[in-house]
Structure 1
Amino acid sequence: MLQWQKVIQEFRKFLLFERNLSKKSVSAYLNDIQKLQIFCEDHQLNIEEINVKNVQHFLEWVNGFGISVYTQARLISGIKSFFNFLQLEYELSTNPAELIETPRLTRKIPDVLEVHEIDELISAIDLSHPEGMRNKAMLEVLYGCGLRVSELVELKISNLHLEVEFIKIEGKGNKERLIPIGAQAIKYLKIYLQEVRAKQQVKAGHEDVVFLNRRGAKLTRVMVFLIIKEVAQKIGLKKKISPHTFRHSFASHLVEGGADLRAVQDMLGHESITTTEIYTHIDKDYLQSIITQYHPRS
């Protein structure tokens, strides 16, 4: 008879080392499996005895706590992975969650900036003080490479390969990817590194970090949010934006320009192409103009 504690520990190792998931994702998966354990122990069910009806009753029980549709989807995904693991490692005969349907998720289309709005934001940065050049280089890299804010603040000098116009990023789950970097971002990044950062006293342990605060330490995510908010207020931008808005804009502008979706997926570091596909639905005005211009009935 399989023991819950032992199986969950083995499943944890499987998620970490074979699936290469982040610790946060692994924690969420295990939390869901522990809910299943509680349900099964309350109903005196051994792991090997769980069938489709038991899984359905478990989901009904969990839904009674008022969880969101996104949590439901993750929960079902986690249970399916758990039973797949049991089939693989413990030769469980069937996967009782295999036929359970995942609820359809409606993806929220993110806000994006127009090119002229990005130009206005970057042009509004005050270059009369050293932090201004850092901020300009930072926003050029954020938009020019489509980075997550966590990737931006963790960016290392040793991962800049500007001579071949690439940077290396350590993304989610410690997965590395190479991203092209354009001439504009390279220009201001070099100016910042040579004229600002080179003159700073760097705090121990932060020698390889690209973007530093006044004390010579790595910038925080919150600081990046505040810098962007301040510049947006300065130009009177009405849109509610964040560092992620630059990432959305990067992807949207590439797709609008005709970039291959798989290439955009690689640059963004998305595991699934479906995550990237949202950018094909962003610019409704652009799509409408195409129909108006080319459709014979328009």
Structure 2
Amino acid sequence: MEFVQPIRDLKQIQAIKNILLAQSARNHLLFVLGINCGLRISDILQLQIGDVVNERGKPRPFYELRESKTKKGRRFPFSKNVQKAINLYFQEAGKNENLESYLFKSRQGYRSITRQRAYQIINDAAHAIGIQEKIGTHTLRKTFGYHAYKSGVDITLLQSIFNHSSPSVTLRYIGITQDDMDDVIINLNL
């Protein structure tokens, strides 16, 4: 597996959202969910419709899962942006969806898209806006962590969310570089 980067620029994130929404509400939801929840792509692709909406088709406030890699039970709340993307998805898909169907259905309709297809969707959108860095499905999770950290979330909380062994592993994972750390010292003029 290649090392991928988070998307650091908020304008690039918005541009990718716009491209994906023009393609389909499904692709848009895949991206929005990934960058707002910090879930692994394997957990995202296993989501069923009933995991994100109730019987009346209204978005749930959170999702509870047993993570595929760690087997730990976790609760992931859905932000307003995720709930909005869920609503857009169901406006496009229609309300007659079976709650046990996969959320990110493949063309066959009875199974989820593959990791490779998710990679292709994300990578194509990133390249369409001119991102040259390595981008992949893990970029979604790293983007979540990077922007959470930059907005002031404590690194130990992100370490816990990501199930990492140390804060230094989390910093490296989310792409915080020595330059970022130097900027803190340079810009702090007491």
Contact 2:4/2:135 (CA < 8 Å) preserved in 1? no
TM-score (normalizing by structure 1): 0.53
Q: Report what 1:255 is aligned to.
A: 149
Q: Report what 1:118 is aligned to.
A: 13
Q: Deviations over 1:219-277 (max 9, x none)?
A: 11111011112212222221120010111111111112211233323433x15234424
Q: Deviations over 1:56-88 (max 9, x none)?
A: xxxxxxxxxxxxxxxxxxxxxxxxxxxxxxxxx
Give the count of matched residue pairs: 181
Matched, 1:225 2:119: yes
Matched, 1:143 2:35: yes
Gapped regions of structure 2 (runs ≥ 5): none
SS at match of 1:167: strand
Contact 1:142/1:152 (CA < 8 Å) preserved in 2? yes
Q: Give distance in 2, aligned partners of 1:280 and 1:113.
A: 10
Q: Pick from 108, 119, 128 the counterpart of residue 215 of structure 1.
A: 108
Q: Give distance in 2, aligned partners of 1:152 and 1:197.
A: 21
Q: Please tell me the root mean square deviation across aligned C-alpha atoms, in Å.
A: 2.9
User: Which amino acid counterpart does residue 11 of structure 2 have in structure 1?
Assistant: H
Q: Pick from 57, 61, 83 the counterpart of residue 165 of structure 1.
A: 61
Of Structure 1 and Structure 2, the greater helix share is in: 1
Residues 33-72 of structure 1 aligned to structure 2 (within 5 Å): none
Residues 76-95 of structure 1 aligned to structure 2 (within 5 Å): none
SS at match of 1:169: strand
Q: Pick from 169, 176, 187 the counterpart of residue 282 of structure 1.
A: 176
Instruction: Label 1:241 to 1:110 Cα distance change in 2 as closer, same or farther (>3 A).
Output: closer
User: Which amino acid counterpart does residue 119 of structure 1 have in structure 2?
Assistant: Q
Q: Pick from 88, 92, 97 the counterpart of residue 195 of structure 1.
A: 92
Deviation of 1:164 after TM superposition, in Å, equals: 6.2
Instruction: Label 1:281 to 1:241 Cα distance change in 2 as closer, same or farther (>3 A).
Output: closer
Gapped regions of structure 1 (runs ≥ 5): 1-107
Q: Deviations over 1:101-138 (max 9, x none)?
A: xxxxxxx98522122221121112252x6xx1100011
Q: Give distance in 2, aligned partners of 1:180 and 1:266.
A: 15
Which of these two proteins has the greater Rg computed from alpha carbons?
A: 1
SS at match of 1:228: helix
